Amino acid sequence: MFNRILASFSLIAAMSVGVGSAAADWPEKPIKFVVPYSTGGGFDTYVRAIAPEMEKILGVQVVPENIPGAGGQKGSATVYRSKPDGYTIGIMNIPGLTVPPLLGKKVAYNLDDMTWIGNLAKSTYAIAVKADSPINSLEELCSLGRPAKFSDTGPTSTSSVTSQISMSLINCPITNVTGYKGSSGATVAVMRGEVDATLKPISSLRKYVKSGDMKFIVTFENKPSLKGVPSSRDLGHDEFEKLTLYRIVGAPPGLPSDITKKLSDALYQAATSATVQEWSKKSKKPLEPLDSAAATKVMAELSGFYTKYKSILAN
């Protein structure tokens, strides 16, 4: 009897060691890093800058995979439905993904269940128009005698949500013209004269302004960072600065905590590495890395924040 009990304990111990060593051996194959948008956009650029550094840290390939569609929902749902083994992660557009379920729309993901790995960047928005546009200010944009046309990828994209909320708060009539492929497509639409303006992160618009194709008319900041361009606070719209874009990295629900930590550490170390910091400086794409715990807290806070604007977004 004693021998049988001893054998049972030995088996349990062996199984426990096996489980522990399996987790300790992770990762053993390439990791897929889903970008829920087309190549060339802001989310894609961040992932492709981070992936090589993560590879060095983790010792396996980190492969960006673009899965565009439904304003980022298709790629995000792919991550959500994947096996929680750490081999599929994805960059998420927040609050773009927050809004559809908030409005009762059926989606194939649940942000409350997602495992949050960390955050890469928090991007500040600006409104830009064509360089030779007669519109030179937010006031002029809102005084066209008709709704100003904004370009975007989809009605629930982060920039579209921000446009709806911010312009509603100042009673500025707009029409969101959606369906453009990626943020670059929406921006080119302004240069072609198809729309009056677009609202995008400063970092995404800067190169078009520098090339002379576009001009900024306002930034959503508490103090101006661009010479000659007023901030929203300068214009008395302090609430605009709260409307920001988070590039949060998530994984499927139920990801083991030890793998979550390894991914979180790798992401944070990659984002703070000298190579990526130099890329950020040269490309003028700001980084604001957060670990898993901080990103999880941010997501909880943002859920409550956007709930306040449910009635605006429902119109």
Residues 235-245 have pLDDT tens digits of 999 989 889 88
| pTM listed for this prediction | 0.77
Residues of the chain with CATH 3.40.190.10: 125-242
In three-state form (DSSP H/G/I as H, E/B as E, the rest C), the secondary structure along the chain is CHHHHHHHHHHHHHHHHHHHHHHHCCCCCCEEEEECCCCCCHHHHHHHHHHHHHHHHHCCCEEEEECCCHHHHHHHHHHHHCCCCCCEEEEEEECCCCHHHHCCCCCCCCCCCCEEEEEEEEECEEEEEECCCCCCCHHHHCCCCCCEEEECCCCCCHHHHHHHHHHHHCCCCEEEECCCCHHHHHHHHHHCCCCCEEEEEHHHHHHHHHCCCEEEEEECCCCCCCCCCCECCCCCCHHHHHCCEEEEEEECCCCCHHHHHHHHHHHHHHHCCHHHHHHHHHHCCCCCCECHHHHHHHHHHHHHHHHCCHHHHHC
Residues of the chain with CATH 3.40.190.150: 30-122+245-314
CATH superfamily of 30-122+245-314: Bordetella uptake gene, domain 1 (3.40.190.150)
Residues 62-103 have pLDDT tens digits of 999 999 988 889 999 999 999 999 999 999 999 889 888 888
Percent of the chain with pLDDT over 70: 93
Residues 174-233 have pLDDT tens digits of 999 998 987 889 999 999 999 999 999 898 899 999 999 999 999 999 888 999 999 999
Percent of the chain with pLDDT over 90: 69
CATH topology for the 125-242 domain? D-Maltodextrin-Binding Protein; domain 2 (3.40.190)
Higher pLDDT: 66 or 12? It is: 66
Confidence of residue 23 (pLDDT cuts 50, 70, 90): low
